[in-house]
């Protein structure tokens, strides 16, 4: 490869690393061209699956500050540069590898952290973004339904409370008067008895 072509190829891999949320290194030895095409289609918009030369991939990885890839860059190498749902892409690679054992997942990089093949398998076992969003939407719908139930129940509860108060008031008018009837009568008696006490007080010196 001529030097300008080599430089351009490295720059393209560097750009792919920088534009990706994650990257998964694979060995595709034994896969046919048609099978590689099927793999690319299965990944869809989540990842760009690119065949790379090991020497160029090493240079590009070093340029973007990725270390530890040297041991993984052996044999026919292709990298899945993931721009979309990382979990969905990991699932796609895992499922394809199960159906096509010729595809070997070696390791990868996620948010600057190097992952081995086992960690990528664990990543594939997580729930995808779509599933998580569906669960969140379901939880929000359930919460809103409960809130609407409470709000709808309030008018009927208020009506029952008002009816109960009205019935009690009809049976006991003092409920609406705040129970003021009896204290008023007591005050009247006190007023009536007061003059009698006064007269007794005035008569006491006369008798003496």
Q: Which H helix or E strand runs over 12? A: helix 3-18
- Tell me the HSE value of 162 on the side-chain side, using a 13 A CA sphere: 6
Q: Is residue 157 part of a domain?
A: yes
Same domain, 98 and 147: no
Q: Is residue 17 part of a domain?
A: yes
Tokens of 156: 């009927």
At 118 the pLDDT is 93
Same domain, 54 and 121: yes
Instruction: Tokens 């393209």: give the residue.
Output: 12
Same domain, 95 and 13: yes
Residues 169-204: tens digit of each pLDDT = 677 666 555 554 444 444 444 444 444 444 444 444
- Which residue in 22, 42, 49, 48 sits closest to 96, CA to CA? 42
- Compute the Cα dihedral for 108, 48, 20, 4 and give only its sign: positive
Q: Which residues of the chain have pLDDT under 70?
A: 127-162, 164-166, 168-169, 172-208
Q: Which residue among 88, 111, 126 closes a domain?
A: 126
Same domain, 107 and 159: no
Q: Is 73 left (phi over 0), alpha (psi -120 to 50) or beta?
A: beta
Same domain, 116 and 36: yes
Q: Which residue among 67, 99, 126 closes a domain?
A: 126
Domain of residue 121, CATH code: 3.30.70.1730
- Compute the Cα dihedral for 132, 135, 137, 139 and give only its sign: negative
- Which residue in 73, 93, 90, 84 sits closest to 31, CA to CA? 93
Q: Is residue 201 part of a domain?
A: no
CA dihedral 74, 49, 122, 91 (to 10 degrees): -140
Q: Is residue 205 part of a domain?
A: no
Same domain, 50 and 102: yes
Same domain, 66 and 164: no
Q: Is 112 left (phi over 0), alpha (psi -120 to 50) or beta?
A: left
Same domain, 79 and 112: yes
Q: Give me the number of domains the chain comprises.
A: 2
At 69 the pLDDT is 82
- According to DSSP, residue 52 is labeled E
At 159 the pLDDT is 64
Same domain, 118 and 143: no
Residue 41 to residue 81: CA distance in whole angstroms: 14
At 112 the pLDDT is 82
Same domain, 32 and 67: yes
Q: Which H helix or E strand runs over 16? A: helix 3-18
Same domain, 103 and 140: no
**Domain of 35?**
3-126
Same domain, 170 and 140: yes
Residues 100-123: tens digit of each pLDDT = 999 999 999 998 888 999 999 999
At 10 the pLDDT is 94
- Compute the Cα dihedral for 67, 72, 77, 81 and give only its sign: negative
């Amino acid at each position: 490869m001529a030097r300008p072509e080599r430089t351009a190829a490295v720059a393209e891999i560097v750009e792919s690393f920088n534009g990706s949320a994650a990257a998964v290194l694979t060995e595709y030895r034994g896969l046919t061209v048609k099978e590689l095409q099927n793999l690319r289609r299965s990944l869809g918009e989540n990842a760009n699956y690119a065949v790379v030369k090991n020497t160029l991939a090493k240079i590009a990885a070093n340029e973007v500050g990725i270390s530890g890839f040297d041991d993984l860059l052996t044999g026919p190498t292709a990298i899945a540069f993931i721009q979309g749902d990382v979990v969905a892409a990991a699932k796609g690679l895992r499922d394809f590898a199960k159906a096509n054992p010729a595809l070997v997942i070696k390791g990868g990089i996620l948010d600057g952290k190097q992952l081995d093949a086992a960690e990528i398998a664990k990543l594939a076992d997580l729930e995808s973004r779509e599933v998580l969003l569906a669960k969140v939407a379901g939880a929000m719908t359930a919460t809103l339904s409960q809130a609407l139930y409470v709000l709808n129940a309030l008018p009927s509860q208020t009506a029952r409370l008002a009816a109960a108060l009205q019935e009690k008031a009809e049976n006991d008018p003092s409920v609406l008067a705040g129970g003021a009837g009896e204290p008023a009568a007591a005050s009247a008696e006190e007023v009536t008895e007061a003059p009698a006490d006064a007269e007794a007080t005035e008569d006491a010196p006369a008798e003496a």
